[in-house]
Amino acid sequence: MSMTWNDSVPIYRQLHQRVVAMILDGALNEGDPLPSVRQVAADFQINPLTVSKAYQELVDEQLVEKRRGLGMFVIEGARAALLKSERERFLREEWPLLFARLQRLGLDLKTLLREAQTDKDRAGKDPTVNHQPDKEGQS
């Protein structure tokens, strides 16, 4: 778990957001242990109380649970709950702004999908493979 800290957001919030992202991305699965408070504090050279505060928020949000003597673990259903709440937040907060900007720029769904496919095609091409047909029209 690598981090670059942003000075405009408290470190405990950034750490919290990183753990949430790891759960959503599948880097932390249900039942997986979180790194220990001491380990995270040492790795990032931050106060253990900062790590504890981030982890406590995760407990309060019922995403992880404390197991006495064992540590913190991602609870069952955490990813599904996060997906639901993040989707709702996106549709409520981010989508209206994004949609308004798309309208101002005159972009429609067809154009966006075509651009996404072009980007996907570009990313999927192997520069070491010759994509030009040979003299007989075969590749």
Domain CATH number, residue 39: 1.10.10.10
pTM over 0.75: no
Task: Tell me the H-state helices in 7-138.
Answer: 11-25, 37-44, 48-60, 78-89, 95-105, 109-124
Interatomic CA distance for residues 95 and 2, integer angstroms: 29
Q: Which two tokens stand for residue 17?
A: 């957001």
Percent of the chain with pLDDT over 70: 88
What is the number of structural domains in the chain?
2
| Mean pLDDT for the stretch of residues 106-128 | 84
Inter-helix orientation angle 11-25/48-60, to 10°: 50
8 Å CB contact between 40 and 51: yes
End position of a domain, from candidates 76, 91, 114:
76
pLDDT at position 5 is 87
How confident is the prediction for the chain on average, in pLDDT?
A: 89
Interatomic CA distance for residues 136 and 95, integer angstroms: 50
Percent of the chain with pLDDT over 90: 78
End position of a domain, from candidates 19, 51, 76:
76
62 within domain boundaries: yes
